Structure 1
């Protein structure tokens, strides 16, 4: 196997024996085979679109299944076998509809690929396809680097598009781009500059996807408002829900009304507490439990109730709690209970059978809900504070957390931010410092949680609004972006920031293994993208 898609990849180069995430070589091969089948489906779907034939099922399926290959989402071989078979069925159905039009269409061998009949043979096909893809692209390492960047960015887009369509927000341009980019990955006639342009186009499409997801969340649950969230346990029965999917959370809340069960969020579900319609309508949405995804082995073992995983990041579960973990949607692990629908009867039954928390914990709380509407509602005060010199600088310190060494940089950086500066944060990287009391500046909190990783859209809108208020370019704002990355949604967000022309981004804790030196040099020269160094050095450089 060879996998370089996450930040924890072996030796900072690529996992070759077993995935650092827990992914087996067998699953890696099946994921590569599925991607190959989605590339063929993409080629046929594009041809069908040109003839006015649309398959929403194929569009949504491509996003769901591409999402399933994202780091720490699905580890179940049987699930990927079913996905592969479905991809071929959808492809052939579209080809048959094209044939009925009588329009001659020439397809490549990609769209005629046939998967094997046994698991063992499918795995071997996946290994062969991976080797062929790497070998055919290795002639130009920089183009290969950009192909991987686009593939990984597509996985991020697919995750957001999957969530957005669940809430009724879709755009055919998003699906068309995904099919187009997937179909292009095997081409050898695209120049380096054209691949760069496609990567930036991916950033543009991801901005649209985040806009769609934002519209879905806010139109359904209201715009987030600053909200205090308990971090301590409350005596009684409990269910823990992790991931990003607010729709699944609401279904769980509906079905647990009047049961006496308290619902706790975990990981990137924390910002759910800021959505007024969730908090007001479901008072048993009680508090937040635990920190970032990489600590779940210890934290899940101690939670006295069932755990629902709606999206990534799922780690290989331990025996101490695996019988209490339920998965949904594209998430999977062999042997874990998978809910095919939003019927939480079995989860609720287990919660009522388990002891729950036997006593209240010592009160602790944290603030969330500082999305764009909340921040921009006090924009006048913020602008005046900047003009008076009370606020000297803004830092966006956000992104993914992870277990690899070097991530203490982010907590140390936030601790050292001067008292006249404000920190905006989002995604699970904030769990390094989310419960720190940094005080306020004239009533404006110095630490504001904007939300989930997809709420980078909110952060972008805040920056654009402030730039407009000061009548300057975004890059002229007293704003620095200090980002951490782990998985592929961070790749798509970085490409969005580059598409918007954002300069001087600092990225860490290490640079992506799939970015070649020449490609990074190109990004450094055009956007001044740079790796993090030390908190002291980077703070000094940002504050000038």
Structure 2
């Protein structure tokens, strides 16, 4: 049993069907099965929480935080440490029992009535009942929607975790975790009910991105366009990867005046646009490219790395002693920097290590890219943009964004960006932009042709921009000269896609391959209802986008 697993939550899943021996992400069956059991436990907690919510009770925020952190821990490329999972499982049982005491007497499903075993070995044996394919009789469309909802929740949990870290949250989203988790256990619900819940997950995704946008822009001010050096400078350094701006802020405060350069990596790149972070002179640039190249790019570097959220890959021995994690990120044997009672963290261990390693020996020539076009900065040009579109100077917008990954076929996104005509602008967000963000696209109508809107959660910014432009043209988003081309890898992209669908946005191109958890009938429903288009070739999709617009 312990040698088998089944996981199909990410785009790189084996054969486009599911990983069964070990995860392409580096997850071994032991971790996969403990994660299955943890999700099973969360569903059980939700079964007891739902009737309490219906009675008007608020679920304790510590329980919400636990559910959120557990969902995020099981997202792709986040945590690979068995002990962390066992600890979470034990905590889940305590919470389940606490809610079981309070919940009204009723007939509850196995998710709720199951009690966790004492040892990791017995937990692993029990995990079989939590497997995705355990119920062989389940209708494939019901299964498909249940897991789509669950993967949407994992994406929502990542954004909500980020907001909660700076003391922002949404009561609506906090409650939704329990209602949606319970829905994935409820045999009374029809396909229509589950489609409704999937769309509700999209609405909650919009809601949490809005809250996170407010959190980041209130705390760090609105991003503004900034040039960011993508080459290295002489001296000791720390590379910070992930999404949590608060971690970066604390690291910058604690390294100030110590002669340590700080580089962003991956999805931390957009942090350079925020005035409250950009003011630190030792935030010197961005290191490397997208997350999936980290094993090569971190190989033997003379400095440290701090992983704040996904995406962590198996650390090579050549840098295992210099990579640190924080929040829910983990790998067996790596140091995880905990949060103190007062919400701060002590980064002295990673700071000392960076000084000891000594850093780069010389400066490379400066090469800069432009970031910082969130909704505030972009819409400050709204008048000029509208005029340029009306005069024909600016023909079309392409939003090319989402997660990057290592699988062949992703060159499509580079090729697509390169072939976008010179009288069109490209909006981009998330790490998919690393496919083309170092290319020079020049300008159109006095604006840079490539506008970096930010992290994956800044899909909200892109939506704000689209809605404002639709308003200016007195039309709806689907009638704008705008094509959305999404690349997906993990569950935040699922949350982003559901967010766009819940807003009624149609005609999205999706790739590089379609999710394995979407059944043929569910895919047909998405195609019929939202005109979702699997990507074909860059030439074909570009031609169709521009023809439809004409």
Measure, in 1, the Cα distance between the counterparts of 2:190 and 2:108. 22
Q: For residue 46 of structure 1, what is the aligned residue in structure 2?
A: 50
| DSSP 3-state at the match of 1:496 | helix
Query: Do the aligned partners of 1:138 and 1:144 also contact (CA within 8 Å) in 2?
Result: no
Query: Do the aligned partners of 2:394 and 2:445 also contact (CA within 8 Å) in 1?
Result: no
Q: CA deviation at 1:116?
A: 1.2
Cα deviation, 1:67-108, whole Å, max 9, x if unaligned, reads 000000001111000001111112222334x27xxx656544
Q: For residue 14 of structure 1, what is the aligned residue in structure 2?
A: 18
Cα deviation, 1:478-529, whole Å, max 9, x if unaligned, reads 0000000000000011011111111110000001111111111111111110
Pairwise CA RMSD of aligned residues?
A: 1.2
Q: 1:370 aligns with which of 338, 360, 373?
A: 373
Measure, in 1, the Cα distance between the counterparts of 2:197 and 2:56. 24
Q: For residue 481 of structure 2, what is the aligned residue in structure 1?
A: 478
Q: 2:283 aligns with which of 267, 282, 285?
A: 285
Q: CA deviation at 1:52?
A: 2.5
Query: Taking structure 1 as reference, are residues 139 and 104 closer, same or farther at Cα in structure 2, changes over 3 Å only?
Result: closer
Q: For residue 5 of structure 1, what is the aligned residue in structure 2?
A: 9
Measure, in 2, the Cα distance between the counterparts of 1:27 and 1:359. 42
Query: Taking structure 1 as reference, are residues 387 and 302 closer, same or farther at Cα in structure 2, changes over 3 Å only?
Result: farther
Cα deviation, 1:412-470, whole Å, max 9, x if unaligned, reads 00000000000000000000001111000132010010000000000000000000000
Q: For residue 64 of structure 1, what is the aligned residue in structure 2?
A: 69
Cα deviation, 1:232-281, whole Å, max 9, x if unaligned, reads 1111110000001111111111111111101000000000000011112x
Structure 1 residues 432-443: aligned runs within 5 Å? 432-443=435-446
> What is the TM-score of this pair, normalised by structure 1?
0.97
Measure, in 1, the Cα distance between the counterparts of 2:189 and 2:473. 41
Q: 1:324 aligns with which of 308, 322, 325?
A: 322
Query: Taking structure 1 as reference, are residues 53 and 473 closer, same or farther at Cα in structure 2, changes over 3 Å only?
Result: closer
| DSSP 3-state at the match of 2:38 | helix
Measure, in 1, the Cα distance between the counterparts of 2:7 and 2:14. 9
Query: Taking structure 1 as reference, are residues 53 and 379 closer, same or farther at Cα in structure 2, changes over 3 Å only?
Result: closer
Deviates more, 1:300-309 or 1:463-472: 300-309
The reply to whether residue 493 of structure 1 matches residue 489 of structure 2 is no
Q: For residue 339 of structure 1, what is the aligned residue in structure 2?
A: 337
Structure 1 residues 82-481: aligned runs within 5 Å? 82-96=87-101, 98=102, 104=105, 107-130=108-131, 134-136=133-135, 138-280=137-279, 282-341=280-339, 342-481=345-484
Q: CA deviation at 1:474?
A: 0.6
Measure, in 2, the Cα distance between the counterparts of 1:427 and 1:46. 34
Q: CA deviation at 1:51?
A: 5.2
Measure, in 2, the Cα distance between the counterparts of 1:105 and 1:248. 44
Measure, in 2, the Cα distance between the counterparts of 1:158 and 1:180. 14
Query: Do the aligned partners of 1:423 and 1:446 also contact (CA within 8 Å) in 2?
Result: yes
Query: Do the aligned partners of 1:426 and 1:450 also contact (CA within 8 Å) in 2?
Result: yes
Query: Do the aligned partners of 2:6 and 2:133 also contact (CA within 8 Å) in 1?
Result: no
Measure, in 1, the Cα distance between the counterparts of 2:11 and 2:238. 31
The reply to whether residue 531 of structure 1 matches residue 534 of structure 2 is yes
| DSSP 3-state at the match of 2:321 | helix
Query: Do the aligned partners of 1:137 and 1:144 also contact (CA within 8 Å) in 2?
Result: no
Measure, in 2, the Cα distance between the counterparts of 1:48 and 1:331. 32
Measure, in 1, the Cα distance between the counterparts of 2:327 and 2:438. 31
Query: Taking structure 1 as reference, are residues 408 and 138 closer, same or farther at Cα in structure 2, changes over 3 Å only?
Result: farther
| DSSP 3-state at the match of 1:114 | coil
| DSSP 3-state at the match of 1:81 | helix
Query: Do the aligned partners of 1:145 and 1:516 also contact (CA within 8 Å) in 2?
Result: yes
| DSSP 3-state at the match of 2:135 | helix
Measure, in 2, the Cα distance between the counterparts of 1:144 and 1:203. 18
Q: CA deviation at 1:189?
A: 1.6
Query: Taking structure 1 as reference, are residues 496 and 51 closer, same or farther at Cα in structure 2, changes over 3 Å only?
Result: closer
Query: Do the aligned partners of 1:45 and 1:91 also contact (CA within 8 Å) in 2?
Result: no
Cα deviation, 1:373-416, whole Å, max 9, x if unaligned, reads 00000100111111111100000000000000100000000000
Measure, in 2, the Cα distance between the counterparts of 1:372 and 1:501. 20
Cα deviation, 1:116-139, whole Å, max 9, x if unaligned, reads 111111111112321xx5243643
Query: Do the aligned partners of 1:169 and 1:212 also contact (CA within 8 Å) in 2?
Result: yes
Measure, in 2, the Cα distance between the counterparts of 1:109 and 1:515. 25
Query: Do the aligned partners of 2:59 and 2:175 also contact (CA within 8 Å) in 1?
Result: no
Measure, in 2, the Cα distance between the counterparts of 1:376 and 1:223. 12
Q: 2:34 aligns with which of 26, 30, 33?
A: 30
Deviates more, 1:478-487 or 1:157-166: 157-166
Q: For residue 75 of structure 1, what is the aligned residue in structure 2?
A: 80
Q: CA deviation at 1:48?
A: 3.2
Measure, in 1, the Cα distance between the counterparts of 2:281 and 2:178. 42
> What is the TM-score of this pair, normalised by structure 2?
0.96
Question: How many pairs are equivalent?
Answer: 537
Q: For residue 342 of structure 2, what is the aligned residue in structure 1?
A: none
Measure, in 2, the Cα distance between the counterparts of 1:87 and 1:20. 27
Measure, in 2, the Cα distance between the counterparts of 1:264 and 1:27. 31
Measure, in 1, the Cα distance between the counterparts of 2:143 and 2:537. 31
Structure 1, unpaired ranges of 5+: none
Measure, in 2, the Cα distance between the counterparts of 1:138 and 1:433. 45
